[in-house]
Amino acid sequence: MSKQIMFSLSCTTCDWQGADADLNACPRCGATIDLHYATTAIVPDDRQPGIWRYADHLPLADLQYAVSLGEGNTPLLRAARIGDGIALPELYFKIEGANPTGSYKDRIAAVGIARLQALGKRAWAATSSGNAGAAIAAYAARAGVPGYLFTVEKYAKAKVAQILAYGPQAWAVERLGYDPAVEEATWANIRHLCAANQWLMLVTARAFSPHAMEGAKTIAYEVCQQMGAPDVVYVPVGGGGLLSASWKGFVEAKAAGWIERLPRMVAIQAQGCDAITQAWQAGRPLQPIPGCSSAISGIQLTAPPDGDLVLRALRESAGWALSVPDEATYQAQAALASQEGLFVEPAAAITLAAVRADRASGRLQGHERVACWLTGSGFKDATAVQRMSEGRTIAPMRAADILSLLGGQSS
């Protein structure tokens, strides 16, 4: 099914504007490009699968290329116990681990692979520590498209095992995720590789895949439909694309008349890998950091490609950036499982760790309606799963001894 092309391109830095084209950077200055739609109205079409119900605000001119595994429409749950425990009764969790491959990256992959098919590209190439690679590989498998993945040197085995199950070729790049020079060289080389082979670069950052990243803003669309406008939104930040895209989604939702006010955005990073937080706190532009000492998989980037867009979103929303120690993140992960029944990966739980810190410091006063993006399932990181159950054992028992648990009560 065809639809009229309803979007155009512009640069986020200079005044360049143009019609849609096979671009992933501004042709004039090389900066990140943005997408604009001819109408502010967003009219969901529930006849379309997954996030394609928002097709009039996604960059695909012909829906025959759309690919879906049922992504999106994920639950938004009010905290059952944790919110009351920290005197923050209006605490909500957006459960992105409910997406088909277990993370919000499915939203990006759906748009990215559709874009690939519409452009007639032959394959995809990407960097990923796990979630993006799994999502892109799954949607590409659905579409019958081959792919090439370059992952971090110290990858989470469970995440990479999932990626390999979908069939792409994969390599672990030495020092990727821990060295800004290696990160930048890897992205530059993938860009050249794709240009030479008629492949599509699908790195989940607006700096490299601005069309695909439009899929991430649908999280904000859904939350506006589910609860209206939160007061504060906590987002895990590695490269920065998710927060920047989420902010764009809220801005578009307000323009469409869905909400009357915009939330404050909070960028959460891991201590030891927090270039954006350092820039925010110092009031300066983003600068790469020399290395990463955090073990939180999925948000380990020393040179965040969308960092400047995150800083802009924080300024525009009157938000802030915060870094969290790994141990606090692991404690939040365990609390989400034991108190809320929510099994998430550490990179998702870091949002709750930040909420706890901000509530303890008084930055959150307790009356706010707060939404946390829980970005991925706990099954993504086997090491973190084992950490949660460390020291616990399962005792052997005979069937005849089961009734001993009655404590002497008669049935």
Q: What number is the average pLDDT over the span 225-229?
A: 98
How many domains in the chain? 1
Residue 264 pLDDT exceeds 80: yes
Kindly list the distances between the CA atom of residue 177 and the CA atoms of 227, 306, 386, in Å, as whole numbers in the listed order.
36, 15, 23
CA angle, 139 as apex, 134 and 144 as ends, to 5°?
120
Residue 19 lies in a domain: no
- The percent of residues above 90 in pLDDT, for the chain, comes to 85
Residues in the chain: 411
Residue 396 lies in a domain: no
CATH number of the domain encompassing residue 329: 3.40.50.1100
The strand pair at 91-95 and 76-78 is best described as: antiparallel
What is the band of 408 on the pLDDT scale with cuts at 50, 70, 90?
A: low
Residue 83 lies in a domain: yes
Residue 80 lies in a domain: yes
Residue 207 lies in a domain: no
Q: What is the pLDDT of residue 1?
A: 47
Whole-prediction pTM: 0.93
Residue 277 lies in a domain: yes
Residue 176 lies in a domain: no
Residue 293 lies in a domain: yes
What is the band of 385 on the pLDDT scale with cuts at 50, 70, 90?
A: low
Q: Name the average pLDDT for the chain.
A: 94
> Which residues partner with 324 through β-bridges?
270
What is the maximal distance between C-alpha atoms in the chain?
A: 82
Residue 268 structural domain: 76-102+212-386
Q: What number is the average pLDDT over the span 294-320?
A: 95
Kindly list the distances between the CA atom of residue 320 and the CA atoms of 59, 84, 327, 357, in Å, as whole numbers in the listed order.
30, 24, 22, 13
Side-chain-facing half-sphere of 119: CA atoms under 13 Å: 25
What is the band of 5 on the pLDDT scale with cuts at 50, 70, 90?
A: low
Contact 110, 371 (CB under 8 A): no
Q: What is the pLDDT of residue 411?
A: 43
pLDDT digits (tens, 9 = 90+) for 32-88: 999 999 999 999 999 999 999 999 999 998 999 999 999 999 999 999 999 999 999
Helix axes 105-119, 131-143, angle to 10 degrees: 40
